[in-house]
Structure 1
Amino acid sequence: MTDTSDIDGDVWVSPRYLAGSAANVDPALKPLFDLGFDRHNDEYGNLYLASPDRKVRLGFLPEGEDDGMWRITAYKDPFAAPAWGVCFNDSAPTELVTAFTTALASAYTTGADAYLHNGADQDRYDALAPLLDERWKLQYTGYGSALALRAPDGMAGLEYATGPLDPQRELTTLQARWYMEGGLKGPRWYATASTGTPVTLVAAVTTALADPAPVARWDSFLSSLLRPHVQLTPVVPPPPPAPTPLDVHRRTGTRPRPALTTTSVPRWSTSTSTRPAAARR
C-alpha cells in the first residue's frame, strides 16, 4: 500500500484512478532529479530531463502540442530510435507517473539490461497480476487482438494488444501495446506503453493503479463530473502535542518548579544515629 501520509491536500479520494492529476508534480520528477539527470526548460515552460548518458529521457510538457503531458523514452544508442516509449496524459493520476519514474530510476541504477530489456520477451502476467488481485475482470473486446481488464466499478480499464503493431505509431498515438485509462467518456485519462517497455516498469504502474489506498487532492481541483463516483474523506490534521512544562511557562510567565527526588530532603529513621562518627568509634 502506498504511503500517503506526507501528501498535502484537503480531501482523500478513492478510488485513486478517478482522482485526476495532482497539483504538485515534484514527486514524479524527484527520482530522476536524485540521479543527477540534466534539466532544461524551453521558452514555453516545458521541462526536459536526460540521463548523463542520454539513454533515458523525460519530457514534462504542460505546453506541448497535445495532451500527452509526460513522455518518457529509452535508447540503446543516444542517436537511434527509441527502444520504448511511455506516455501519460494531463489528467492521469500523478501517482502512476511517480510509480513509473521510481521504478525507472531503480532500473537505471541497476544497468542497461534492467531498463532496456525488451518487454515483448517478458511475461505480461507480471503486469496484469496486481489488477487481477484487486478483482479486475477480463473483458470481451469483440476482436481477438486485445486482452482487456476492467475495474469492478467499470470506471477504469487496461488493454494489452496481442497483434502486430507499427513501432512508430506506438510512440505517437494511442495504438500502443499497453493502454490504460479511467474516468468518464469525456474527462478520461490515459497512459500508453510501447512494445519494448520492460514489463517490470509497466507492473509498477499497474500496481499503483490497483492500490486501494486513497490519494490526497485539493477539493477545488476535483472534476465536478467525477464527484458522484468517488468517495471523499476530509484530511484531518493530527492533534497538536500536549504542552510541556516549559510551554506552560512561556505562555503564563511562571517559572516551572524543579521536580523533587527522594534524595532532595533529608530522611531520618530509627536506625539513624545522631552522634558524630568519631563518638560512635
Structure 2
Amino acid sequence: MGKLTFKGDKKKKTKKVDNTTVSRQDPILPEKASAAIEGWSSATVCGDLKGPCIFLHGQSPPLALQHDSMTDSFLGLDNTDILSSKDCINFFESDLLEYLEIDRVEPNSTSQVFSIIPINDSNKSLLSASATEKFAFKHRDSYLSYNSNGTLELVPAISKNEIFTLEPHQIPNGVFWYIIASNGHKLTYTNSTYSFHHEEGTAFVIRVHINNTIKGSQLILESSQPTDSNTDVKKAIRTLYKETNGKIIINNDLVNRLKTASQRRELNEAIINEKSKYLSKW
C-alpha cells in the first residue's frame, strides 16, 4: 500500500475528463502515466475493493463514516474534500456532464480512511479472493466490528462480527453498496447513529485509490509501453497482475523493488517474494 496523501500534501496531477460528451465511460489519462495514478475513484465491482477506502452516503454534501478517537465513536460528517469533475476519474457510465458530489470526494483525514481486507471462506487466501463479496475493514491497528447492540466499534482481531458482505447495486449514474453484517442486517445511518438493526440499509458509495481498481490497473499497464530498459520489469508487473487475479496493488514502491531486482538479476526471485508478501498480509 502506498503512502496516503491528502489534499494539501502535494500538488496533484490533473486528470482530464471530457465534459462535453455524454458518455464518461473512457476516462483520459495524463500523457505520461506513471506506475500509479493519483487520486480516488468510486468502486464499481468487488475486484476494486482493496487498499484504502472511504465510505460515503447522502447527497449534498455527502457524509463520510469516520471514527472519532477522542470519544471512540463513529460519526457521519461532511468534512471531506469535493473536487471538480475534471479532476476525477470514475469507471462507470453516466449521462451527467458533472459527476455527483459523492463521486468526487477525497478524504482529508486518516479518521475517514479504512483499509479493505478481502476474505475468502475456504482458505482466507487473498489470491483466490478476486470474486469475494466478504471483507474486513482495518482502521489504524483495529478492525471495524459491531457489538450486541448492533452499533459500531473497533476490536483488535478478526472474528465473525468483523466480516461483512458488500452488495453492489448498479444505478443510472454510478454504483452503491450495502454493508451487511453476519446476522443479515445492513448498516444504517439514522438519527446520527450507525447501526445494524435494519434489513433496509443505507446505500454507500465506496471511494478507493484509482490505481487499486481493476480498470485503473489495466489502464496503467496499457499506457506503460515497454522499452529496452524496462521490458523485464513491465513483464514482471503483468505477471504479478495476472497471477493475483488483478488484486496486486501496483504502485511506485513495487516498481522500484522490481527495478532493483532486475539490476541484480534477481527478478524471478522478486516475483515469488512479492506474491508471498501478498499472501502473508493476512
Specify if TM > 0.5. Answer: no
TM bin, normalised by shorter chain, reads under 0.3
Report the TM-score when normalising by structure 2.
0.24
Of structures 1 and 2, the one scoring higher in RCO (CA 8 A, sep 6+) is 1
Structure that is richer in strand per residue? 2
Report the TM-score when normalising by structure 1.
0.24
Which of the two has higher C-alpha Rg?
1
Structure that is richer in helix per residue? 1
